[in-house]
Structure 1
Amino acid sequence: MVSNKFSTEELDYWEDWKTRRDPEAGDYLVERYLPLVDYVIQRFMINLPKSVEKDDIRSLAYEGLLDAFDKFDIERDLKFETYATWRIKGSIIDGLRRSDWLPRSVRDKVKKVEEAYAILEQQHSQSVTDEEVSRYLGITKAELNKTVSDAALSTMISIDETNYDGQEQTGKHSILRADAALSPERHVFNQLIKESLSQAIARLPEKEKLVVSLCYFEELKLTEIAEVLSVSVSRVSQLHSKAMLRLHAATVAIHENY
């Protein structure tokens, strides 16, 4: 039995699409859910280096949306928006991996910076400054900021690493399965991740914490956040990158133990 998550009209289009791939139904669904593509792209563009074309990301995102239409089970008690968002993200991430957008030399620098955040913030039980991280790594503050900028998407991909199998997301952070269906071990793991991230967010420097809040809770665009903080868009991007790197570092130990 199909749940009441769709209106009667929309359900009719879904059934026409699923049973006979009706073109009119397909056009309706694309128009109905295309804003999801823009939403996900906006979240990715805050992390992308300037060398990555937005049109390429849009193409990958659109492929993810179409894939979601094909594989979504309308009888499942799951909102399509949730499922499609992760399909779109997965399509973009897979496309970026295939393009090998980040050289290995940069990946190595990113890993060292991430390890520095993890070690120093564990030692001090608080966020560390750029000067402390630079001193620990033996690099200049400018070199650190450059690596942090390069690290942004790499960190996000690592956090959101997924392996899609049918309609199940079997990566480290599956959100598509109900908690009741999770094994006890997976439930404990998810709780540890949530607690670790909550503590890490609380320790963030105020500006980084504000950027995270405006981006992910208030859902403001990059330009809007820059206006609120009265700083440049590039400065917002840098603050976001540092916050993501700190948050990822906070979960490293948990991942290594599972």
Structure 2
Amino acid sequence: MIEPKTPRLSHLELWEKWKSDGDRDAKKQLISEYLPLVDYVTNRMAIGLPRNVSRDDLASNGVMGLIDAIDKFDYRRGLQFETYASWRIRGAMIDGLRQGDWVPRSVREKAKRIEEAYQVLEQQYLRNVSDAEMSAYLEVSETEFRQMLQDIAVTTVCSLEDPIREEESETRKALLIDERAKNPDHKVQEFYIKESLVKGIERLTEKERIVVSLFYYEELSLSEIAEVMSLSPSRISQLHSKAILRLRGVLEHERSQLMQQ
């Protein structure tokens, strides 16, 4: 006699069995249900990373992030697990990359130099500076400057999408607050930081704004953006790096201003 199949439980039922009853089988089913999130984040993270970075390593770290998300998520708050888990998965991958010291010190130093150059020049001119002006400030040719942008493309992966708090999906692109600051006017600070970020985005070139929008809001990969904009993937990577370094500079300047108040 063939036994009837056990009815498939809904996600809510699985969450209830895991969180309320500590049912390990329910947890395993949740992991299985949400594993495609790991593949999705892995594919996005892998774009632009060096060839020596293994997709398998990314995915392995991502699975640990998924398990951590399932352990910490409170389904009763009515939040979307997919959004929360994506940040946790991505954070676990980034932690793995950092522990592996995958970016040479020389590349990090280049990124810092360019970020500081954008910050200085754009505060000085109060406008979007050209590659020629950047090259002159850095004392390199424009060709060398573009190569520097290409070299540091991998460092911008860990950028504006990093969560600020573990329990939330809010990121640096939303606000930048020093949690240790004992300032009762943090809401006012938050407002001005958001305003500063808006101004920073406005200073980006049209192409840079499009890349930021397509990558962070439409969630296209850099290769997909290259097809949409009819540009090479390397050019899209350069535009992304320039945009992120500019925005980092804006946020860092605003934070330093607030810390002095």
TM-score (norm 2): 0.80
> Percent identity at matched positions?
48
Measured after TM superposition, the shift of residue 226 of structure 1 is 1.2
Query: Could you tell me which residue of structure 2 aligns to residue 243 of structure 1?
Result: 243
Query: Could you tell me which residue of structure 2 aligns to residue 219 of structure 1?
Result: 219
Measured after TM superposition, the shift of residue 168 of structure 1 is 6.5
Q: Distance in 1 between matches of 2:60 and 2:14?
A: 24
1:81 aligned counterpart, secondary structure = helix
Query: Could you tell me which residue of structure 2 aligns to residue 180 of structure 1?
Result: none
Measured after TM superposition, the shift of residue 161 of structure 1 is 5.7
Give the counterpart letter for 2:22 in structure 1: R
Query: Could you tell me which residue of structure 2 aligns to residue 123 of structure 1?
Result: 124
Measured after TM superposition, the shift of residue 163 of structure 1 is 7.3
Q: Do the aligned residues in 2 keep the contact of 1:68 with 1:87 (CA within 8 Å)?
A: yes
Q: Do the aligned residues in 2 keep the contact of 1:163 with 1:171 (CA within 8 Å)?
A: yes
Measured after TM superposition, the shift of residue 169 of structure 1 is 8.4
Measured after TM superposition, the shift of residue 108 of structure 1 is 1.8
Q: Do the aligned residues in 1 keep the contact of 2:132 with 2:142 (CA within 8 Å)?
A: yes
Measured after TM superposition, the shift of residue 155 of structure 1 is 4.2
1:40 aligned counterpart, secondary structure = helix
Q: Distance in 2 between matches of 1:122 and 1:215?
A: 26
1:1-258 aligned within 5 A: 9-18=10-19, 19-23=21-25, 25-157=26-158, 159=160, 167=167, 184-256=184-256, 257-258=258-259
Measured after TM superposition, the shift of residue 110 of structure 1 is 1.5
TM-score (norm 1): 0.81
Measured after TM superposition, the shift of residue 79 of structure 1 is 2.4
- Is the alpha carbon distance of 1:246 and 1:236 closer, same or farther for their aligned partners in structure 2, counting shifts above 3 Å? same
**What does the per-residue CA deviation read over 1:30-84, in whole Å, with 9 as the maximum and x for residues that have no partner?**
3432333234334433452333222222221221111101111223343222321
Highest CA radius of gyration, 1 or 2?
Answer: 2
Structure 1, unmatched stretches of 5+, are: 1-7, 176-182
Give the counterpart letter for 2:191 in structure 1: Q
- Is the alpha carbon distance of 1:228 and 1:162 closer, same or farther for their aligned partners in structure 2, counting shifts above 3 Å? closer
Give the counterpart letter for 1:139 in structure 2: V
Q: Do the aligned residues in 2 keep the contact of 1:46 with 1:237 (CA within 8 Å)?
A: no
- Is the alpha carbon distance of 1:42 and 1:118 closer, same or farther for their aligned partners in structure 2, counting shifts above 3 Å? farther
- Is the alpha carbon distance of 1:92 and 1:174 closer, same or farther for their aligned partners in structure 2, counting shifts above 3 Å? farther
**What does the per-residue CA deviation read over 1:214-236, in whole Å, with 9 as the maximum and x for residues that have no partner?**
22222223222111111222221
Structure 2, unmatched stretches of 5+, are: 1-8, 176-182
RMSD: 2.9
2:74 aligned counterpart, secondary structure = coil
Measured after TM superposition, the shift of residue 174 of structure 1 is 8.4
Q: Distance in 1 between matches of 2:165 and 2:99?
A: 16
Q: Distance in 2 between matches of 1:184 and 1:146?
A: 45
Measured after TM superposition, the shift of residue 153 of structure 1 is 4.2
Q: Do the aligned residues in 2 keep the contact of 1:222 with 1:236 (CA within 8 Å)?
A: yes
Measured after TM superposition, the shift of residue 26 of structure 1 is 2.9
